[in-house]
Chains A and B, each alone.
Chain A
Amino acid sequence: MTDKNLNLDHIIPEDAREPSLVPAPAAALASLVVPGLGQALTRSVRRGLILFFSFLTVVGLILWRFTLAAPRDTGWWDIFKKGLYLDPFLIVVSFLFAILYLWIAFDAYSLARDRQNTPLGVFVFLAIMFFALGWQIGKINLYSFVTNADEALPALGRVGWPWEKAISYESVIFQAEADIEIPCSETPPAVNVVTDEPTLVSSPTCGILSVQEGEPGSELHLEGYNFSPGIEVNIMWKDPIGNEFRQRQGGKYVIIIPDENGYFETDIIMPYRLLPPSATEPTYIWNVFARQVAERGKAKLSDDFKKIVEKMIETIFIGMMATFFGIIFALPVSFLAARNLMSASWVTLLMYYLVRAILNIIRSIEPIIWAIIAVIVVGLGPFAGILALVLHSIAALGKLYSEAIESIDPGPIEAIQATGANWLQTVIYAVIPQIVPPFVSFTIYRWDINVRMSTIIGLVGGGGIGFLLIQYIRILDYRSAGMCVWFIAITVAILDYVSAEIRARFT
Chain B
Amino acid sequence: MKKTATLLIALAIVLGLASCQPKETKLYIATINDMHANIDNFPKLAYVLDSLRGVHPDLLLFSAGDNRSGNPINDRDSVPSRPMYELMNAVGFNLSCFGNHEWDSGVEALRDVMNIAKFPFVCANVTFDDSLNMPYQPYIILEQNGLKIGVIGAIQVGLNGIPDFHPDHAAGSHFHPIEEVLPEYLFLRDECNALFLLSHCGFEEDVETAEKFPQFDAIFGGHTHTLVDSTRLFNGVMVTQALNKVKYLTLNTFTFDKNGKMIAKESQVIPINKQKNIDPAVKSMVNEFNNNEVFLKVVGYNDAQIDDCYECLGCYMADAARALAGTDMAFQNYGGVRFDTLGVRPVTLKDVCSLDPFDNDLVVFNMTGQEIVDFLGVSFFTDGGPNYCSGCTYTYSVDEQGQMKDCQVKLDNGKPLDLKKTYKIVMNSYMSSAFKFQHEDPGTDIFRSSNEALIQYLTDHQHINYADKHRAIEK
- A and B: partners? no
Footprint of B on A, CB under 8 Å? none
Footprint of A on B, CB under 8 Å? none
